[in-house]
Structure 1
Amino acid sequence: MYIKKTLIASSIIALLTLPALSVQAAPSATDASPQQMWPGAQYAANIPTVEQVLGYSTGERITSHSDMLRYFEALAKAAPDRIKLFHYGKSWEGRDLIYVAIAKADTLAQLDQFSDEMQALADPRKTSKAEAQKLIAKLPSSVWLEHSVHGNEISSTDAAMMTAYHLLASQNDPVVDKINANTVVFIDPLQNPDGRMRFINFYYQTVGMQHSDDRLSVEHNEPWPRGRSNHYLFDMNRDWLAITQPETAGRIKTLLKYKPTIVVDLHEMDGDSSYFFVPAADPFNPHMSKTQIANNTLVGKNNAKYFDQFGFDYFTREVFDGFYPGYGDSWPTFYGASAATYEVGSARGEKFRKANGDLLTFADTVQKHFVAAIATAETAADNRQKLLTDFYQYQVDAIKAGENDKERSFILPGSDDLAGSHKLATLMAQHGVEVSQADKPFSACGKDYPAGAYVIDSAQPRGRFVKTIFTQQVDMDKPFLTEQERRRARKLHDEIYDVTAWSLPLMYNVDSYSCDDAVKVASHPVTADAPLPGKVINPDAKVAYLVPWGDMAAGRFLTAALRDGIRVKSADKAFTTGDNHNYPAGSLIVEVKANDSDIAAKVQQIAAQTGAQVTGVDSSWVVKGPSFGSENTVMMSAPNVAMAWDFPTSSLNAGNTRYVIEQEFNWPVTAIRSAQLASADLSHYQVLILPSGDYSQALSEQGAANLKQWVKQGGVLITLDDATRFASTPAAGLIDVQQELAYKVEAKDGKPAPEPKKDEKAADNRADGSLIKSRDELISRIENDKELPDHVSGVLANVEVDQEHWLTAGVKPEVVSLVQGNDIFTPIKLASGKNVAWFADEKHLLASGYLWQQNQQQLAYKPFLIYQPTGKGMVIGYTQDPTARGYMDGLNVMLMNTIFRAAAHATPLR
């Protein structure tokens, strides 16, 4: 009877829609009442428990997004004077994003005043030291608890519910009383509802008659793309710099409103691990203050006190460094918070058998996050005055540092890329940075700038954020780097956790200049939602409208025009009109007579929407370069774009690329499961993109042959990163380059290492006797004869661009790419194709970050963008990822060319 009911329940869960997820699928792993979460606690009866609202105890079941909402709404209804619920946005799939504020009644009633006073404390230019001390004397401290930014890191959302309940319902608890008296606790219970629901749906659909603790079981092995990422498959913990996703945008806006003094991001890690909390590992970002790092140690010590009491294992400092400024635990440090990551070993379901034989349950992981959250809130309460004083002093020091800096002011002229500069300026405003736009031309530090240039003075409260984002090179500690080189020499893995470069002006490929003084010019403030004004000169043109190619305003003009059915041409080469106006290669030509009678109105509307700069001409006469009717001027088509989806693509690369094309380019993409490409009729599509991934099994020789045939018939195949490695293999034979092994040199004379001698006696597994006379000789003897270059965590590298190929029309002579991994390719031979972009020489290759010397030497002059014509179509290979994290905006024009200009240059039967 029991088995039958359980199996029926499992079947129902597999079939029903989202609200049915509260149905129990199998016996619970642990019965975890609130009293078991915090032994000895006494709770008020008027505050509803999870079980009273949802029908199961905390930690007994993984809570869905809708049930999480129901529970927090129940808490807000039960104690409206002590908890307030706010909506801060919606996910891509339309799910509500919420946070709650919990505090004593009189504090909560004045939450807007609290926000205003924190803003006052955050600006010493308006708030004197004496005024700040008065604010510090009365203001509560504040804690912001971020949960489940990775959707398959499941425990923290349920821990958030337990934390809120405990703070509201506890009676006669001096710790909770202290927290409520001195602190506002903000809880964001679920940062990534789309990813979480992807995980929950998968998990409960795979559970059988009982939950399995075996790591080999299907419920512990998620299918592609897993629940970690959001709808567009972004790792949102890396989206804090680019703010591409609506979930991130809403969260940042809210944090800037309250500026909480402690921010904690609660994660999960491998189930065999215990628990990690601060202090973080080396290296730390040099623009963080020593006080912030010291305050994190205060937090960690108090956490340790409670973990010792509960008997929880933990560790600190060994991993999860404080260098990259684009995480949920690092971004808040640059407005003055002390921020931290917490990681709990994950059950990735309701129970999990650890390698040491111990059983880890979902309730265990919920409890650990809950205890850490309460301990952190207590630290905020105990150190209320210190945290607020340190917060104010951070702003004072930031302004002073900016005033004394040799790079005090940063200027974006905008003349090289108006759209890119505008996007970067408004993005910085979205980050809470003060940005101004000059109302007239001006000079600064001996250089002239036009009206409309953007100016950012680092002598402002957000000055340290400005410095870490705009400074070209942010260095890691020398002792840390020395240790990494030592480890590499010993063939040990390095300890660099993430990318070592993130300069947004470089990644946007826009000109940025600095000045050691404040810029004095009449200007107006730039807001995050400031539009880029489009312009049409001579809107009643008789012959054509011309759009200079080279920025994303022109790119979005093209896609809007094509989607509206407008006929658009594009020049392969630069040209000069009869009135001596110069237009770069790739410039768009919209001929009046080739389009409908309302073309003038459509052009003006699209220019206003996109920010494009358009000039109408009354004559087609060209004095230099191709004429409008030249064969060097192609008719742009509206290509159907397909993309490989599902295993074996990198879900992040697939998601990032689809996002950039759909949301930045405003062009639809059809996702096709990779395995279907092996035999699918692709004749409907003009462009196919293979995101990073090893397709050798999914496509095999049959799939490669299918793609070859499609390309020969006029298709454009674009391979990204690892997909280019697959395309270059002999089995695929899609592009005529080879992945390189590491280049070996002898340490003494610099000559290439000799080929190893073949052992003629190897057949009997014996070798001739030999002598090893030094440690260096030992290392030489044990070296692998054939190995790949060392892995690179992530640097920014300079790329030189062929200015005489139609594929790079409008692209600057030099762009910047993110370089990760260890792929280096041979140049393509002229008999097969063309290297249209390649890495700069060794001396000038590194734009920002830390790169192993051998990689820098070997990467020089190797291809970045490869073009290989095949039949009526072509293969275009990127050797690195041009859409990484959605923030490599400086490569967007190149990517648009490889989609739209390539499709126009392919010659299928029409």
Structure 2
Amino acid sequence: MLLSLSRILVIFLLSASFNTFSANVSTYLPDGAVYNEKVPTPESTLGFGVGERHPRHDQVLSYLQQVAMVSPRVNIAEMGRTTEFRSQVLLTISSPENLANLDDILARRTDMTMSAEDPVVVWLGYSVHGDEISGTNAAMVVAYHLAASQDKNVANMLNDTIIVIEPSINPDGMDRFVNWVNTHRGMTENPDPNHIEHHQDWRTGRTNHFGFDLNRDWLLLSQKESQNRLPYFHKYQPNVLGDFHEMGANSSYFFQPGIPTRTHPLTPAKNTELTKLLATYHAKALDTKDRLYYSEESFDDFYYGKGSTYPDINGGVGVLFEQASSRGLQQNTINGLLTFEYGIQNHVLTSLSTIEGAWKHQAQFKAYRQSFYQQAKQQAQDESFNGYIFTETEDNYRLQSFLSKLQQHQINVYPLTQDYKIHQRSYIADKSFYIPLAQPQYRVIKALFNQQKNFQDNTFYDVSGWTLPLAMNIKFAQVGRTWGLKVAESPWQPNTVKVPEVSATAYAYVFEWHNFLAPKLLNKITSANIKAKVATKTFSATVNGTTRAFDKGTIIVPAGIQQLENWRSILADFAEDSQMPLLALDTGLTTKGIDLGSRSFSPVSAPKVLMVGGKGVSQYEAGEILYYLDNLLEIPVTVVEMDRLSAINFADYSHIIMVDGKYNSLNSRVLSKVQSWLVNGGVLFGQKRAARWLSDNEILEMDFVSKNHIDQLFDTESLNYGDKEVLAGRKRIAGAIFQSQLDTNHPLAYGYQFSELPVFRNSTVIMEQTNVPFISVAKYSEAPLLSGYADKNLVNRLGNNPTLVAHNVGKGRVIASTDDLAFRGYFLGSMKIIANSLFFSKAFSTSMAE
């Protein structure tokens, strides 16, 4: 049936108002440029122009795949899939001749002399924060320009350059943001900053599926997206990497170098010099369009876990770009109306200026890379020690995870072939490894193991300490002279450890809690109604004819109390799935300590966990604990926003987790429900400001240091206004690692061999010391700072103060920490405290009256 003329007119008018900007790709590109008509334009594939609306990841991917199909200048490869199964792709753009010989060219990059005449490599990474989407849209324009341009300069440039484009570093977050904006934008554009289009829900598009900031994960490699990318980064070994972001709407445009004093000391001075050289090209490109911008101000080049800094310890030059964000189609700002199209244009300009600058000065960038590794070799020789030795004897999961991260960073690690002793610690051959400094990744090794505590500029945009072995609770030491140290000739390679078969007739089965995945197995078996108990005292028993000692926290599964059919075969399957060895006991009579029928074996059950979420709650810390419990341990977590808590029946849950956040909006009805649930047996875990909220509401019997008290620690009498930023930096702990002392007898510390446990702190939420016995599960050591910067006034104030406390509330328990126990998914050392809080919270009893 034909549409009426009036109906057609209405559709046309609606379409015209929705597509306010007519964004033909040519509007982003040089005037008068000629393009190959066989290469499709973005608008011909998307059905709308770049900047007219926000495309989904699949639409961007479809367009780039079509470009790669028709252009001999473009290859496209899938690096992997995200948690939500979106494709992570990489475009390689160069001359057809270079692409035909790409494998040979890349293979030569490890030999600096052979590769001197090969193309310079420029990597452009876009929208690592999924809601900073002007970058992904700019990627489509840049890819079209390079694939279709008929300009001779472009062809000449492609002969000498390999451009690598990662169009969407965070596809899951990108689509979360796109769906929000496309849902909430009106048919008529609304630039009001208060409009819902510009204000995402609690889980923003900035983060990936688990709520992680992927721009903090290049070094830590906890997330799948980073693990998928890194082999390609090391395959291409880029000379220059552009990292394209967005910032607050009332800003303009930023490109590095940033503040000169906030560069990590491991980064060569020549790196900054080359960054400044590129900056002249960015300035020229933006000047031609009369765009506002700034440089050498804000941000820093310190933390190596970001896309703009990881290249700086890998022979390249990373450059951060920040565009003021419209966070929608358009927004009113102090600089006037900011449109999505405007932001895309700026990123296109600086993408092309990055390529141009690298191409025209390719000899300098190649020479820099060569000198970078030559200097690394010399610096390793000049060190006062030869390498690092490390060990982990009880937890194979943490050890293998640590080794895997080192290998992904191209670090050679050598197994010990005989035992070695240094600094009063023995390093057992089959559980210990050596890392020589004298290898190409010298600077990466130093960045991962460094424990520096003071710097030229102690003001940090991000964390100041991230020492990998401390985070993973791996014992390590510097090795001065290597005399007597025997290691394998070949570097470590991963191998599959087969779980031994499980006896079909055992009196009881045992597994030890020091293994990282022990909570995973315990949750599986208790969820399947297989009964298990935890040892609250030590014992020894005979296993395969040999007497073995078992520590507190050991789990037993006795045959005599099981009611489930086929429980043995189910248990064996769970053990294999969890990669956990089960030991068989033939009798309930132990050789030493408690027997298996003792009441000192406490029953454990599967937890039913509720996590408080929603506006005001840290999406990062919630994501970290979700990643640990849901992804690593396969323990389901029910997330309930604060504004829905009043309608929830808390009796359905055994545990409530509250991470850092602002909880003052919780009303008296919710507070009363929480208190009643606790008294009747619930377990409440609070972290950082959640712990303080529990104290303020007289649930947690602990006092906290006030802000006024912290202010009084600092003498401000002689300061002037110019010292304001420095003082603010001294009063905060941006992120550093501290030494805590665990009470290893406490059930919340089961699985820990040593009392020393490194923990991560990024706040000034400080508990006061307490005289109540047994309430402190962990406290800071007297001089607790291990890695990173914290002002001495704050370090001294933390010394000997509690960091993890727990006590009874009626039949229930409250547990509180002032540290981020699962920080960025790589603090495997302190994560187990969270699992212990779920399984062993009723294995202790500490009354405030004691």
Q: Would you say 1:112 and 2:77 are equivalent positions?
A: no
Q: How far does residue 520 in structure 1 lie from its aligned partner after superposition?
A: 3.3
For the residue of structure 2 that corresponds to 1:234, the secondary structure is coil
In structure 2, C-alpha distance between the alignment counterparts of 1:2 and 1:815, rounded to whole Å: 75
2:700 equivalent among 724, 729, 735: 735
Q: Name which of structure 1's ranges 265-274 and 301-310 shifts more when overlaid on structure 2.
A: 301-310
Q: Would you say 1:210 and 2:174 are equivalent positions?
A: no
2:64 equivalent among 68, 72, 86: 72
Q: How far does residue 437 in structure 1 lie from its aligned partner after superposition?
A: 2.4
> Hey, what does 1:159 align to over in structure 2?
138
1:10–1:837 Cα change, 3 Å: farther
1:693 equivalent among 632, 646, 661: 661
For the residue of structure 2 that corresponds to 1:792, the secondary structure is coil
1:407–1:548 Cα change, 3 Å: farther
In structure 2, C-alpha distance between the alignment counterparts of 1:44 and 1:788, rounded to whole Å: 53
1:389 equivalent among 367, 370, 373: 367
Q: How far does residue 788 in structure 1 lie from its aligned partner after superposition?
A: 14
Q: Would you say 1:171 and 2:132 are equivalent positions?
A: no
Q: Would you say 1:806 and 2:747 are equivalent positions?
A: yes
> Hey, what does 1:128 align to over in structure 2?
none
> Hey, what does 2:607 align to over in structure 1?
639
> Hey, what does 1:322 align to over in structure 2?
301
In structure 2, C-alpha distance between the alignment counterparts of 1:778 and 1:258, rounded to whole Å: 49
Q: Would you say 1:825 and 2:793 are equivalent positions?
A: no
1:702 equivalent among 639, 651, 669: 669
Q: How far does residue 608 in structure 1 lie from its aligned partner after superposition?
A: 4.4
1:815 equivalent among 757, 781, 793: 757
In structure 2, C-alpha distance between the alignment counterparts of 1:778 and 1:113, rounded to whole Å: 60
Q: Would you say 1:183 and 2:161 are equivalent positions?
A: yes
Gapped runs of 5+ residues in structure 1?
Answer: 12-22, 122-131, 482-494, 754-774
In structure 1, C-alpha distance between the alignment counterparts of 2:618 and 2:12, rounded to whole Å: 34
Q: Which amino acid aligns with 2:758?
A: V
Q: Would you say 1:99 and 2:99 are equivalent positions?
A: no
In structure 2, C-alpha distance between the alignment counterparts of 1:254 and 1:623, rounded to whole Å: 55
Check the 8 A contact 2:105/2:115 in 1, yes or no: no
Q: How far does residue 5 in structure 1 lie from its aligned partner after superposition?
A: 8.9
Q: How far does residue 47 in structure 1 lie from its aligned partner after superposition?
A: 1.7
Q: How far does residue 374 in structure 1 lie from its aligned partner after superposition?
A: 0.7
1:904–1:627 Cα change, 3 Å: same
Q: What do residues 270-298 of structure 1 show as CA deviations (whole Å, max 9, x unaligned)?
A: 11111111213232112222232222222
> Hey, what does 1:901 align to over in structure 2?
840
Gapped runs of 5+ residues in structure 2?
Answer: none
Q: Which amino acid aligns with 1:455?
A: Y
Q: How far does residue 777 in structure 1 lie from its aligned partner after superposition?
A: 8.7
Q: Name which of structure 1's ranges 359-368 and 289-298 shifts more when overlaid on structure 2.
A: 289-298
CA RMSD of aligned residues (A): 3.1
Q: Would you say 1:859 and 2:798 are equivalent positions?
A: yes
Q: Would you say 1:526 and 2:492 are equivalent positions?
A: yes
1:498-647 counterparts in 2 under 5 A?
Answer: 498-517=462-481, 519-522=485-488, 524-527=490-493, 530-531=495-496, 534=499, 539=503, 542-577=506-541, 581-595=548-562, 605-622=573-590, 624-647=592-615
2:679 equivalent among 712, 720, 732: 712
1:40–1:746 Cα change, 3 Å: closer
Q: Would you say 1:136 and 2:116 are equivalent positions?
A: yes
Check the 8 A contact 2:108/2:114 in 1, yes or no: no
Q: Which amino acid aligns with 1:895?
A: I
Q: How far does residue 388 in structure 1 lie from its aligned partner after superposition?
A: 2.3
1:306–1:857 Cα change, 3 Å: same
1:60–1:416 Cα change, 3 Å: same
Check the 8 A contact 1:576/1:623 in 2, yes or no: yes
In structure 2, C-alpha distance between the alignment counterparts of 1:117 and 1:2, rounded to whole Å: 65
Q: Which amino acid aligns with 1:216?
A: N
Q: Which amino acid aligns with 1:408?
A: N
For the residue of structure 2 that corresponds to 1:310, the secondary structure is coil
For the residue of structure 2 that corresponds to 1:93, the secondary structure is coil
Q: What do residues 386-411 of structure 1 show as CA deviations (whole Å, max 9, x unaligned)?
A: 32232233223223323442332222
> Hey, what does 2:446 align to over in structure 1?
467
In structure 2, C-alpha distance between the alignment counterparts of 1:583 and 1:3, rounded to whole Å: 83
> Hey, what does 1:455 align to over in structure 2?
434
Q: Which amino acid aligns with 1:302?
A: Y
Q: Which amino acid aligns with 1:91?
A: T
1:655 equivalent among 623, 632, 642: 623
For the residue of structure 2 that corresponds to 1:818, the secondary structure is strand
1:585–1:2 Cα change, 3 Å: farther
| TM-score computed with the length of structure 2 as normaliser | 0.91
Q: Would you say 1:849 and 2:788 are equivalent positions?
A: yes
Q: What do residues 516-543 of structure 1 show as CA deviations (whole Å, max 9, x unaligned)?
A: 245532365334x54455457x946733
1:375 equivalent among 353, 359, 382: 353
Q: What do residues 285-338 of structure 1 show as CA deviations (whole Å, max 9, x unaligned)?
A: 122222322222222122122222232222112122111111111122222111
Identity of aligned residues (%): 27
> Hey, what does 1:276 align to over in structure 2?
254
1:587–1:403 Cα change, 3 Å: farther
Q: How far does residue 620 in structure 1 lie from its aligned partner after superposition?
A: 2.9
| TM-score computed with the length of structure 1 as normaliser | 0.85
Q: What do residues 463-504 of structure 1 show as CA deviations (whole Å, max 9, x unaligned)?
A: 210111012336422xx24xxxxxxxxxxxxx4211110001
1:743–1:346 Cα change, 3 Å: closer
Q: How far does residue 789 in structure 1 lie from its aligned partner after superposition?
A: 9.7
Q: What do residues 435-479 of structure 1 show as CA deviations (whole Å, max 9, x unaligned)?
A: 2323443567996422221222221111210111012336422xx
Q: How far does residue 199 in structure 1 lie from its aligned partner after superposition?
A: 1.2
Q: What do residues 96-125 of structure 1 show as CA deviations (whole Å, max 9, x unaligned)?
A: 11111100000011222222112x32xxxx
1:555–1:435 Cα change, 3 Å: farther
> Hey, what does 2:649 align to over in structure 1?
681
1:73–1:778 Cα change, 3 Å: closer
For the residue of structure 2 that corresponds to 1:902, the secondary structure is coil
Check the 8 A contact 1:742/1:788 in 2, yes or no: no
In structure 2, C-alpha distance between the alignment counterparts of 1:820 and 1:575, rounded to whole Å: 39
Q: What do residues 692-729 of structure 1 show as CA deviations (whole Å, max 9, x unaligned)?
A: 212221x2211111111111221111112221121111
> Hey, what does 1:201 align to over in structure 2?
179
Q: Name which of structure 1's ranges 233-242 and 562-571 shifts more when overlaid on structure 2.
A: 562-571
Q: How far does residue 233 in structure 1 lie from its aligned partner after superposition?
A: 0.9
In structure 2, C-alpha distance between the alignment counterparts of 1:107 and 1:135, rounded to whole Å: 13
Q: How far does residue 155 in structure 1 lie from its aligned partner after superposition?
A: 0.3
Q: Which amino acid aligns with 1:93?
A: E
1:591–1:283 Cα change, 3 Å: same
> Hey, what does 1:792 align to over in structure 2?
733
Q: How far does residue 152 in structure 1 lie from its aligned partner after superposition?
A: 0.8
Q: What do residues 528-573 of structure 1 show as CA deviations (whole Å, max 9, x unaligned)?
A: x54455457x946733333222230433332343345432211123
1:610–1:524 Cα change, 3 Å: farther
> Hey, what does 1:149 align to over in structure 2?
128
For the residue of structure 2 that corresponds to 1:793, the secondary structure is coil
Q: Which amino acid aligns with 1:161?
A: M
For the residue of structure 2 that corresponds to 1:215, the secondary structure is coil
Q: Which amino acid aligns with 1:573?
A: K
2:18 equivalent among 26, 31, 50: 26
Check the 8 A contact 1:147/1:265 in 2, yes or no: yes
In structure 2, C-alpha distance between the alignment counterparts of 1:798 and 1:286, rounded to whole Å: 24
For the residue of structure 2 that corresponds to 1:89, the secondary structure is strand
> Hey, what does 1:418 align to over in structure 2?
396
2:319 equivalent among 327, 340, 348: 340
Q: How far does residue 870 in structure 1 lie from its aligned partner after superposition?
A: 1.4
Check the 8 A contact 1:75/1:83 in 2, yes or no: yes
